Amino acid sequence: MLQQDNRLRKVRDFNLILKHGRWVNGQFLDIKALELAKNQNFFPKKEDPESFKNQLKLAISTGLKVHKSAVKRNRVRRQIREAVRLLIKDGAIKNGYYILVVAKKDILNKNYPEISQEIKVLLSKAKVLKV
């Protein structure tokens, strides 16, 4: 599981990433990343800007187009979550980003190492991974 403070939850945060984030597309995953430091005009008024722009929050989306069975969608979600969790634990992902991971239908035929590799490639394309 992802830590509580690394989960993207609020509607305002989803709206922020959907409106101002950048898409990076892969074979069976898409990632939308938003660098918070470049979007300070849209920060909430109540929160401290310095701590707000240094947070890292993620969300994972697997829609009905991936598969009708909730069991299969949840399995995909768990695999993505574990790959991202290990990257965060190793300190490979920079702070100061909102990240939305969207699964495509082709992900059902992939195993965990392929999913993990795809996530690393997409995050490096989005310039979110530390070098």
What are the pLDDT digits (tens) for 58-69? 999 999 999 999
The total number of residues shown for the chain amounts to: 131
Per-residue pLDDT, 45: 72
Per-residue pLDDT, 37: 84
Please, what are the domains in the chain? Answer: 4-125 (3.30.230.10)
Per-residue pLDDT, 2: 84
Give the contacts of 25 (CB within 8 A, at least 6 positions apart). none
pLDDT beneath 50, residues of the chain? none
Per-residue pLDDT, 79: 97
Residues 112, 82 contacting (CB under 8 angstroms): yes
Per-residue pLDDT, 39: 79
The two three-digit tokens of residue 104, written as one number: 């495509």
Question: Which phi and psi angles does 56 have, rounded to 5°?
Answer: -130, 115
Please tell me the distance from the alpha carbon of residue 36 to that of residue 25, in angstroms, as a whole number: 20
Give the contacts of 112 (CB within 8 A, at least 6 positions apart). 79, 82, 83
pTM over the 0.75 mark: yes
